[in-house]
Amino acid sequence: MLFVLDVGNTNTVLGVFEGKELKYEWRIKTDRHKTEDEFGVLISSLFKHRGIEMSEITDVVISSVVPPIMFALEKMSRDYFRMEPYIVDKGDFQSYLKMNYPRPQEIGADRIVNAVAGISQYGAPLIIIDFGTATTYCYINDKKEYNGGIIAPGMNISMEALYSHASKLPKIEIEAPTNVVGKSTVEAMQSGIYYGTIEMIDGLVRRIKEQYNTDATVIATGGLSQLIAKDSKMIDRVDPNLTLKGLAMIYDMMKKKNT
């Protein structure tokens, strides 16, 4: 079994693959202060709940946009799985993803992993929207080259900004409102966040397609992708586990390369 970890600024997504099938997945809060033992005990508990023995794991693959957490995760892999993890590193990604981008070292590991999985699953051209701490957009051209992207505030950041900087506005849950025009402060905030995000997505995707004169397939992934896709006119497919699939694919590519 292959164990994969995608570390984001807000959440860390974990997955276990048996062959090419994603058998189990979990989403936990990213805590950059956790020790290797705290990670080990938490993962052991998650595995136990699903009947998985840690000894069944044959390899560990990690991608992260949170550098301070890596020391603990690497040591956790050595201490609890008795193996060195494979790290999706910016230094070698061009061996499995073509680039048409002037500063590839700036691209987050998660965006690289999404692009690899997206091309494999859906072909190209492709627009990938990832709903994380930030909402990111990646454009892969018809030559299967990473061509660039857009970074915008995520829905949770927008909600926290309203709550933090406007003293009379409450903290709310993000959900689809019944009406565009709210009949209460909470409904008005939910409408602004929800429909504001949808219009931003549809507008930016339309601009990307106009700039490149393309009818690229639009894939949404990340925690809030299924919620938003219901009312978006531009999202074609939702693949919430795209990043985990990409980690497994990159692992397979590197394994074949080294044999």
Annotated binding site for ATP: 6-13, 133
Using alpha carbons, select from 81, 131, 85 the residue that is nearest to residue 110: 131
At residue 34, the 3 state secondary structure works out as coil
Please state whether beta strands 59-64 and 86-87 pair in parallel, antiparallel, or not at all (unpaired).
Answer: parallel
The Cα 37–Cα 72 span in angstroms is 8
Name the residue type at position 51: G
What are the binding residues for substrate? 101, 108-111, 185
Which residue among 110, 236, 239, 252 is the active-site one? 110
The Cα 93–Cα 174 span in angstroms is 35
What are the binding residues? 6-13, 101, 108-111, 130, 133, 185
The sign of the dihedral angle between the CA atoms of 144, 146, 150, 151 is: positive
Give yes or no: 252 in active site: no
Tell me the catalytic residues: 110
